[in-house]
Amino acid sequence: MTTNVTALRAPWTRIDVPETIPHGDMPGDKICIGAEHIQKAEALFPALKEQLAEQLASNPYGRAVLCVCGGSGVGKSEIASVLAYYLNTIGVGAYIMSGDNYPRRIPRENDIERERVFRVGGLRGLVDSGRYTDDMGATLRRLWAEEADCDPSQLEAYPWLSIYQQAGRRCLDGYLGTPDETDFDEVNGLLARFKQGAEALLLKRMGRELTELWYDTVDFRKTNVLIIEWTHGNSDFLQGVDIPILLNSTPAETLAHRRARNRDGKTDSAFTTMVLALEQRKLEQQAVKARLILSKSGKLLSYQDYRRLMAQE
């Protein structure tokens, strides 16, 4: 397969983005590309072109894998779509793959499993502390029904709940973004086959119901760059990514994005807020591996700049 490395090494000339462009392969995902997404993609693209040229030249099949990662709702899908549009426009074939197609459970069941992990872990933490009583058990069952067991505001009325919440967070942290939640082996196998020159791959599709699960055959004969848009795209469990791109955001900013996107029915819940905070910490721990980091204002950051910025949040 030929690779247009020359186009990647040419000076960057701004490319107009039409109102509608192809986007990732997550069924039902809502993609709303705005001026801020285009501005951020423009900030990334010149530096990305240079790194991609090196990667494509070093792969015998002229292929490379990049990921666009960051907190939920930060604009991964939109920015990945614009980057892919730029690449395809200059003659470098790109395909956008959504990592959200590869959890072990459909979204609704995974949300239930996350709550189960938190609650079982929290309850066990209370028991192991020697503080558990029948009254605490009755209170927890009521708080579970009200979905208020992880709400910090409940600590004033129930100080013992801090033991439960801390233990639950530890267990949930050990589930989020791990092979228990996501089939990283399947994704790693796909990336390896792509970089080894596979002409076609079977890619998973996952909706929100048990009946919405299937595979599509995707032709990669004209694809040089596989772009993964995924919160966990910079995970230590993921192998084969050449250029990780981190879109930075705080949990508060991520929550605001989710509200605007109306991603689920529990956007404002204490549980969702806790999940976002745990995911943010994982992103910060993985940030050192990112080849490109973009601030929420659209500025490219060095890792040192990123650390200083996050210390101010």
- Give the model confidence (pLDDT) of 40-55 as tens digits: 999 999 999 999 999 9
Residue 126 domain boundaries = 107-173
Per-residue pLDDT tens digits for 82-134: 999 999 999 999 999 999 999 999 999 999 999 999 999 999 999 999 999 99
Co-location of 19 and 162 in the same domain = no
Co-location of 166 and 191 in the same domain = no
Co-location of 146 and 236 in the same domain = no
Q: Of the candidates 216, 182, 181, which has an alpha carbon nearest to the alpha carbon of residue 27?
A: 216
Contact between 264 and 256 (Cβ < 8 Å)? no
Q: What is the model's pLDDT at position 267?
A: 59
Q: How many CB atoms lie within 10 A of CB 135?
A: 9
Q: What is the model's pLDDT at position 76?
A: 93
Co-location of 283 and 304 in the same domain = yes
Is position 88 within any domain? Answer: yes
The average confidence (pLDDT) of the chain is 92
Co-location of 280 and 257 in the same domain = yes
The pairs formed by 33-37 with CB atoms below 8 angstroms and a separation of 24 or more are 33/78, 33/81, 33/82, 34/78, 36/75, 36/298, 37/75, 37/78, 37/79, 37/81, 37/82
Co-location of 51 and 195 in the same domain = yes
Q: What is the model's pLDDT at position 19?
A: 85
Check whether 257 has a pLDDT greater than 90. no
Co-location of 99 and 112 in the same domain = no
User: Domain boundary residue among 173, 201, 217?
Assistant: 173
User: Domain boundary residue among 125, 146, 173?
Assistant: 173
Q: What is the model's pLDDT at position 167?
A: 98
- What average pLDDT score do residues 244-258 get? 75
pTM: 0.90
**What is the C-alpha to C-alpha distance for residues 282 and 248, in angstroms, rounded to an integer?**
12
Co-location of 44 and 134 in the same domain = no
Is position 111 within any domain? Answer: yes
User: Domain boundary residue among 173, 193, 210?
Assistant: 173
Q: What is the model's pLDDT at position 198?
A: 98
Per-residue pLDDT tens digits for 185-203: 999 999 999 999 999 999 9
Is position 178 within any domain? Answer: no
**What is the C-alpha to C-alpha distance for residues 218 and 238, in angstroms, rounded to an integer?**
21
Give me the number of domains the chain comprises.
2
Co-location of 84 and 201 in the same domain = yes
Check whether 255 has a pLDDT greater than 80. no
Co-location of 263 and 251 in the same domain = yes
Q: What is the model's pLDDT at position 90?
A: 95
Is position 179 within any domain? Answer: no
Q: What is the model's pLDDT at position 38?
A: 95
Co-location of 156 and 283 in the same domain = no
Q: Of the candidates 306, 292, 177, 288, which has an alpha carbon nearest to the alpha carbon of residue 243?
A: 292
Co-location of 41 and 151 in the same domain = no
Check whether 263 has a pLDDT greater than 70. no
- What average pLDDT score do residues 156-160 get? 97
Check whether 259 has a pLDDT greater than 80. no
**What is the C-alpha to C-alpha distance for residues 28 and 52, in angstroms, rounded to an integer?**
30
Return the CATH number at 245. 3.40.50.300
